[in-house]
Amino acid sequence: MTQTLTPDQAWERMKEGNERFVAGAPRHPHQDVERRHELAAAQRPIAALFGCSDSRLAAEIIFDMGLGDLFVVRNAGQVTGESIMGTLEYAVDVLEVPLIVVLGHDECGAVRAAIDSLQSDAPLLAPAIWRQVSPIVPAARRVRQEQLDAGEGDEPNAWRVGQLHLRDTITAILHSSEMISDAVASGKLGIVGANYRLAEGAAVPDVKLGLAENPAGE
Ligand SMILES: [Zn+2]
């Protein structure tokens, strides 16, 4: 519990847990009374996870982890904002996690709402929903333009929008936190952006920053 993992070791643990989940052979670690007692005084999670709130990607289940393993913050469409940044900075600065995983997924309702908002007859969204979804709209617009330029119609491919939004999200995290970008630059922190595939259960990495296998700058 006092271990300090490197960014690569932390990602390796996440990958192994996800592979067990995909294979239908989870161990459900760290969910017993002993673990609960062991953690009562302090936590030392191996990673922070910032993902979509979607009920189908419960963090500890899909990475086959348990109590004290992941410091989790989720909202619809994993959209950054002050409380997200405060939570991630806390994880890095105070809890000293060596890894942040940003997790998007296919069939995301927030991505779908951003795409639908491009239609002239788009239904009105309640104000707070619109504020949540609007940071995804630039990715939807870019994909629509790419497809128009390629003669592929004007209905943006949702998977591609989700991928660009995930990349935008990681860029926004780095731009809005000097502490986090410094931690990546110094090798203390890795960031992995992954797309979770609902049917297979696999978290497929798309962006890796600050990992030895793929150093900062990619
Ligand atoms: Zn979602």
Expressed in angstroms and rounded, the spacing between residue 157 Cα and the centre of ligand 1 is: 15
Expressed in angstroms and rounded, the spacing between residue 38 Cα and the centre of ligand 1 is: 33
pLDDT at 218: 44
pLDDT, mean of residues 78-84:
97
pLDDT, mean of residues 163-168:
97
pLDDT at 215: 52
pLDDT at 109: 97
Expressed in angstroms and rounded, the spacing between residue 32 Cα and the centre of ligand 1 is: 30
User: Nearest CA to 80 among 126, 143, 135, 117?
Assistant: 135
Expressed in angstroms and rounded, the spacing between residue 132 Cα and the centre of ligand 1 is: 12
Residue-averaged pLDDT of the chain: 95
pLDDT at 4: 84
Q: Is the pLDDT of residue 79 over 50?
A: yes
Expressed in angstroms and rounded, the spacing between residue 110 Cα and the centre of ligand 1 is: 6
Expressed in angstroms and rounded, the spacing between residue 170 Cα and the centre of ligand 1 is: 16
Expressed in angstroms and rounded, the spacing between residue 126 Cα and the centre of ligand 1 is: 18
| Residues flanking ion ligand 1, Cβ below 5 Å | 52, 54, 108
pLDDT at 126: 95
Q: Is the pLDDT of residue 193 over 70?
A: yes
The residues spanned by each domain of the chain are 7-107+167-209
Q: Which residues contact 25 (CB under 8 A, 6 or more apart)?
A: none
Residue 185: C-alpha distances to residues 16, 97, 99, 110, 216 (Å): 26, 15, 13, 31, 7
What number does CATH give the domain 7-107+167-209?
3.40.1050.10
The rounded Cα 33 to chain-centroid distance in angstroms is 29
Split at pLDDT 50, 70, 90, the class of 3 is: low
Split at pLDDT 50, 70, 90, the class of 18 is: very high
pLDDT at 123: 86
Burial 138-153 (b: 16+ CB within 10 A, else e): ebbbbbbeebeeeeee
pLDDT, mean of residues 55-81:
97
- Rounded to whole angstroms, the Cα distance separating 1 from 163 reads 34
pLDDT at 114: 97
Tokens for 186, please give them.
């110094």
What is the bridge-based pairing of β-strands 202-209 and 190-197? antiparallel
Q: Is the pLDDT of residue 173 over 60?
A: yes
- Rounded to whole angstroms, the Cα distance separating 205 from 196 reads 9
Expressed in angstroms and rounded, the spacing between residue 111 Cα and the centre of ligand 1 is: 7
- Rounded to whole angstroms, the Cα distance separating 155 from 116 reads 9
Expressed in angstroms and rounded, the spacing between residue 162 Cα and the centre of ligand 1 is: 9
Expressed in angstroms and rounded, the spacing between residue 28 Cα and the centre of ligand 1 is: 24
Whole-prediction pTM: 0.95
pLDDT at 199: 97
Cβ neighbours around 124 below 10 Å, total: 8
Expressed in angstroms and rounded, the spacing between residue 42 Cα and the centre of ligand 1 is: 31
pLDDT at 25: 97
Degrees (nearest 5) of the Cα angle 16, 17, 22? 95
Expressed in angstroms and rounded, the spacing between residue 40 Cα and the centre of ligand 1 is: 32
pLDDT at 212: 85
Q: Is the pLDDT of residue 214 over 80?
A: no
Tens digits of per-residue pLDDT, 114-152?
A: 999 999 898 899 999 999 999 999 999 999 999 999 999
Expressed in angstroms and rounded, the spacing between residue 2 Cα and the centre of ligand 1 is: 33
